[in-house]
Amino acid sequence: MTTLTPEQTSVEADQQSRPVLALDIGGTKVAVAVVTADGRTHGLLVEPTHRDRGPADVIRRLFDMGHRSLRAAGLTAPVEAVGISCGGPLDARAGILISPFHLPGWIDIPITELASREFGLPAVLQNDASTAALAEYRYGAGRGLGTVVYLTISTGVGGGFVIDGELYRGAAGNGGEPGHITVRAGGRPCSCGRRGCLEAYCSGNNIGRRGAEAAAAAHAAGRATLLAGLTTVTAQDVSRAAAAGDPVAGEVWDETTALLGQALTDLVNVLEPDAVILGGGVTRAGAMLLDPVRQAVKEGAMGPAGDAVTVTLAALGDEVCVVGAGAIAHDRLAQDQNA
């Protein structure tokens, strides 16, 4: 048995302070944990969403996971709030999932009201890109900084900003959509209805699509490529083939990093952040993604903005949204205390 010093006991107590229940509703997986004020998860559960079973079934299982997580966490302090992270469109202020892109058929679900009733606690909702931004700022790659731009590059391209330590919410409460900055005016059609957005080129889906198109063009031109013969091409196929020296994949990848670098330079010029943090599945490509993008920002951004910023990869990994859901619940408690 370990005997704790008074200092350790106090640290232990602090780490377990202000527990909140955090729910992250993804299209493939749901994650639930109790999150303490130090950003640690307790009783983390990750299970498949089975979104085809519909909202009532998913929400029932989500709440059951919440109760199991509360028991598994085994904390002595009572849980004080529920934080919920989900993809948009959603109305964060009203606590309603309007029609999340990744959850077809979920229309106008009053998720905070349902959670509040289920757990007998105040509940808050926020866009998953925003919760991730807040989590990286508070506990990850943005720790100790003032203003952070976070971009998640996965199926789509989302993001959020923390400005002077506060999650930026914007007039509509969605906190900004850096994935829909123009990189090629009149270019590829985007899910938002415009053309040429960053997401239309640099989301995982669209890197894959551009890889497939490049493979088809290479085939027609009699050019060999590692991307030939794949039933579907993913962003990972493209980055791996590019890393292996495949010229066709290399062109797709270079265009990807060039356009991402351009959009980040724009964001750095506009917002002059302390850091740009890149997360999401596509960033598993690591230095192959980070190095050219970092160089583009350093070369392209205005002097003071370029000097002030660091461009870095996210630190929190898969748990980022559940930690962020906890963070928005902590923010809510802090607001209530100040009010």
**Minimum CB–partner distance for residue 151 and a second copy (Å):** 11
Please select the residue that binds a second copy; options are 265, 283, 321, 332, rule is CB under 8 A.
265
C-alpha 149/C-alpha 132 separation (Å) is: 11
Please select the residue that binds a second copy; options are 85, 130, 206, 262, rule is CB under 8 A.
262
Asked if 18 touches a second copy (CB under 8 A), the answer is: no
Stretch that binds a second copy, among 74-82, 118-126, 258-266, 316-324 (CB under 8 A): 258-266
Asked if 180 touches a second copy (CB under 8 A), the answer is: yes
- DSSP summary character for residue 109: B
Report the candidate in 242, 203, 202, 213 with the shortest Cα–Cα distance to residue 226.
242
Quick one: residue 236, left, alpha or beta (phi over 0 = left, psi -120 to 50 = alpha)? Answer: alpha
- SS3 assignment for 182-209: ECCCCCCECCCCCECEHHHHHCHHHHHH
Please select the residue that binds a second copy; options are 118, 128, 136, 177, rule is CB under 8 A.
177
Asked if 146 touches a second copy (CB under 8 A), the answer is: yes
Report the residue number, 18 or 180, with the smaller CB distance to a second copy: 180
DSSP string, 294-333: HHHHHHHS-HHHHHH-EEEE-SSGGGHHHHHHHHHHHHHH
Asked if 140 touches a second copy (CB under 8 A), the answer is: no
Backbone angles phi, psi at 5, to 5 degrees: -70, 160
293 contacts 281 by C-beta, under 8 angstroms: no
**Minimum CB–partner distance for residue 136 and a second copy (Å):** 16
276 contacts 261 by C-beta, under 8 angstroms: no
- Considering only residues 279-318, where is the footprint of a second copy by CB under 8 A? 300, 302-305, 307-309
DSSP string, 257-277: HHHHHHHHHHHHHHH--SEEE
Asked if 102 touches a second copy (CB under 8 A), the answer is: no
Please select the residue that binds a second copy; options are 87, 95, 273, 324, rule is CB under 8 A.
273
Report the residue number, 122 or 173, with the smaller CB distance to a second copy: 173
Instruction: Count other Cβ atoms within 10 Å, centred on residue 247.
Output: 14
Asked if 182 touches a second copy (CB under 8 A), the answer is: yes
Coil/strand/helix, residue 219: helix
Asked if 172 touches a second copy (CB under 8 A), the answer is: yes
Stretch that binds a second copy, among 36-44, 51-59, 102-110, 164-172 (CB under 8 A): 164-172
Asked if 141 touches a second copy (CB under 8 A), the answer is: no
Report the residue number, 63 or 106, with the smaller CB distance to a second copy: 106
Report the candidate in 338, 278, 334, 330 with the shortest Cα–Cα distance to residue 38.
330
Binding stretches for a second copy (CB under 8 A): 89, 146-147, 163, 168, 170-178, 180-185, 192, 194, 259, 262, 265-267, 269-274, 300, 302-305, 307-309
